[in-house]
Amino acid sequence: MTVADLTRPDRPRLLFVDDEPAVLEALAVNFRRGFEVVTATSGDAGLEYLRAQSDFAVVVSDMRMPRMDGTTFLALARDAAPDAVRILLTGHTDLDAAIRVVNHGQIFRFLTKPCSRDTLRGAIDSAVIQHRLITGERVLLEQTLRGSIKMLVDVLAITNPAAFGRANQIKTRVLELAGHLGVLDSWQLEIAALASQLGYIVVPHEVCEKLEHRIALTPQEQDMVIRAPQMTEQLLANIPRLESVRAILALHIHPPRRNPAADSATQLIELGAHLLRIAIDLEAIEAMRGDGVASPVGDLLIRTDLYDPEVLEAVERLYSQQPPRMAVKTVALEELAAGMVLAEDVRLATGTLLVARGYEVTPSFIARIRNIPPGMFHGEFRIAIPC
């Protein structure tokens, strides 16, 4: 029994690339029983499939093809679909080239032609197992890192609600802008945005209150704020596999010019630094100007040397959109449930901020609010509901 037979309800997707239609037809007939098979007669066509549908488990390419050979195609396929496992079919005369490709990490395995059906099936089954190991580790890693950062952010929400509110707004802006730029699945961007305010955990409450109300700081207080990013670095340094996130945070104050020729990981870091820089500045502009004001793009254009042109265009598109219509509903503490989004700040009777608007209610927040002594809190919440 093969890997594919064990997983019939969720058949792995294969992409075969060869310039001979008869070969592709034979491959499709032989493998469509256990796999979802897609074929392409050129490297360009194969790349179009990979860019449009990134959920391929295995990519199998012939070596000798006109316009784009198999090694070039598979190198580009690695950027288009990094999780897809790549196999190269090559003739004896191409062995040296195939070995070079293997040594550069561009393919999982190469097979010499003629290749029997059983040999190819065995290689594909092994590649499917490899793909599941890669994707399984990535999902586990993302969930673990998200959980670690969420724990720190929950601490921030309790110790410094104003900083948490900023982090939440910054995250929203980063993800909205990333969506406008076609980056739809990047946990690194989300974590970097949330983590950008973690250093304020150690900033005294009265200093954070001054920041919230835009009150001038003393030189000593300014030094505390300047040192906040260093504390963020210290907190994240203890969490493994956050190299990209830490790089985004390290570069966001003065983001470097983006290099389109860089590898995909570097491009994401550079884009993330620019997105974080502009999202932080947008949050500051909106906090000063209040709701219902014109687009803040004019304020940003003062520093065109600091912002990436493509990111600025995404900001213009974002603020030209009609915002989603929201209704506001008042609920009692007994009705408050995890997942609800607060439409306004929650404060104690003394005026102390508990959480900022935009906060998504968690079970820990509900437990915390229920422990507040009677009379310290009015007991009602205003939540936002999409119309």
Same topology between domain 3-134 and domain 324-387: no
Q: Do the bridges between strand 85-90 and strand 58-62 make them parallel or antiparallel, or are there none, so unpaired?
A: parallel
pLDDT of residue 5: 37
Residues 6+ apart with CB under 8 A from 311: 177, 181, 271, 274, 275, 278
What angle in degrees, to the nearest 10, is found between the helix axes of 205-212 and 219-237?
Answer: 110
pTM higher than 0.85:
no
Q: Which residue has the tokens 């939540």?
A: 383
CA-closest candidate to residue 342, choices 153, 165, 134, 89: 165
Reduced to 3 states (helix: H, G, I; strand: E, B; else coil), residue 280 is: helix
Which residue from 56, 46, 53 is spatially nearest to 131, judged by alpha carbons? Answer: 56
The pLDDT profile of the chain, 387 residues, written as one tens digit per residue, is 333 333 344 689 999 999 999 999 999 998 988 899 999 999 999 999 998 887 899 999 998 898 898 888 988 888 888 889 999 988 766 666 667 666 555 688 888 888 888 999 999 999 999 998 888 877 776 677 777 777 777 777 777 787 888 888 899 899 999 999 988 767 889 889 988 888 888 788 778 777 777 788 888 888 888 888 888 888 888 777 788 889 999 999 889 999 988 888 899 999 999 999 999 988 888 777 655 556 677 778 777 778 999 999 999 888 887 666 678 899 988 899 988 888 888 888 887 778 877 788 888 888 888 888 878 877 789 898 876
- The two three-digit tokens of residue 111, written as one number: 């097979």
* Domain-wise residue ranges, the chain: 3-134, 160-323, 324-387
pLDDT at 95: 67
Amino acid at residue number 75 = A
What CATH number does the domain located at 3-134 have? 3.40.50.2300
Q: What are the φ and ψ backbone dihedral angles of 298, each rounded to 5 degrees?
A: -60, -40
Q: Per-residue pLDDT tens for 105-142? A: 568 888 888 888 899 999 999 999 999 888 887 777 66
Alpha helices in 9-116 (DSSP H): 21-31, 43-52, 70-80, 95-103
**Cβ atoms within 10 Å, residue 227:** 13
Whether residue 98 contacts residue 90, with contact meaning beta carbons closer than 8 Å, is answered with yes
pLDDT value of position 90: 82
At 130, which amino acid appears? Q
Q: Domain 324-387 is in which class?
A: alpha beta
> In the CATH scheme, what architecture does the domain 160-323 have?
Orthogonal Bundle (1.10)
Q: DSSP labels for 258-278?
A: P-TTS-HHHHHHHHHHHHHHH
Cβ neighbours, 10 Å, residue 374: 6
DSSP per residue over 173-232, as a string? HHHHHHHHTT----HHHHHHHHHTTGGGGGS-HHHHHHHHTTPPPPHHHHHHHHHHHHHH
Cα separation, 278 vs 260, in Å, equals: 20
